[in-house]
Amino acid sequence: MILSPDITTRYYSNLRESGVVKFPFYNRSLINTIGYVRYVNWLSSFWGNRYSLKIASLFFKLVPSVDFVTAPTGSYRSPHRLKHDRALKKFFTPDRIITSEVESVFGKIKKNHDIICGVHFRFGDYRSWQGGRYYYSKQQYYAAMLNFKKLFPDQSVAFFVSSNENIDLTLFRDCTCFSLPNSNSVKDLYGLSQSDYIIGPPSTFSAWAAYHGSKYLYFIEDPAAEITLSKFKKGLDIWK
């Protein structure tokens, strides 16, 4: 039971209606009245302050068989991940309004290209995360794209560009690039999952896309290193 839904929860009706995860304060009437973003921000500020959390933790101690936790962010291995693989992917597949738009764009690209490589340009917080260790320039990403393109000399390759910043696609003259119109994190995540291969810095964002789409992923840990097909990992192998 999640008291404060994420800003993207509205795009995942399979998760909201799963019966496994419940959102007791996902109130459609209030959402329609004051708007989703305002409502989610209000819930976050209400449940996110230390006083509300303390009161809630004391209250839930009185409820039998209920554990109240402030959930940490992180990734954890589970012995049940193979058993529930299909259900997990279904719960975290966005609504049709998202998937149809993404699949329409990718369908047009696939008519003229043999391979689509999703490139996750991670800027923003990566400027400072781990001292900027995985913060790469656009030129370094471009070099990785050209490196990848060489792996398929007899096939046509297109690059899906995903980023948390605006990217000028004309910078990559020798590559066929595209992005999603009016994109957001949910569209980009699903777009990466629809690519044949994914490259980008170490990130759970692109790793989840590779898992969800059962696609091959290469983490750019050294932008000067040569990219080979043997370095790509697939699906659950990423988490090993």
In the chain, where the domains are located: 9-72, 91-239
Instruction: Report the side by side order of strands in the sheet with 176-178.
Output: 176-178, 157-163, 115-121, 197-200, 216-219, 233-234
Of the two residues 131 and 48, the one the predictor is more confident about is 131
Tokens linked to 138: 């656009």
Average pLDDT, the chain: 88
Report the pLDDT averaged over residues 157-163. Answer: 96
- Is 80 exceeded by the pLDDT of residue 194? yes
Q: String of b and e for 28-40 (b: at least 16 CB within 10 Å)?
A: eeeeeeeebeebb
Q: Which of the four pLDDT bands, split at 50, 70 and 90, describes residue 58?
A: confident
Work out the average pLDDT over 68-92.
76
Tell me what the mean pLDDT of segment 81-108 comes to.
Answer: 93
Q: How far apart are CA 55 and CA 17, in angstroms?
A: 28
pLDDT digits (tens, 9 = 90+) for 12-26: 999 999 988 888 888
CATH ID of 91-239, from 3.40.50.11350, 2.130.10.30, 3.40.720.10, 3.30.70.270: 3.40.50.11350
Rounded Cα distance, 236 and 47, in Å? 33
Please give the average per-residue pLDDT across 165-186, as a whole number.
Answer: 92
Long-range interactions of 70-79: CB distance < 8 A, separation 24+: 75/204, 75/239, 77/239
Confidence of residue 164 (pLDDT cuts 50, 70, 90): confident
Q: What number is the average pLDDT over the span 98-114?
A: 97
pLDDT at 75 over 60: no
Distance in angstroms (rounded) separating the CA atoms of residues 183 and 96: 15
Q: What is the pLDDT of residue 76?
A: 62
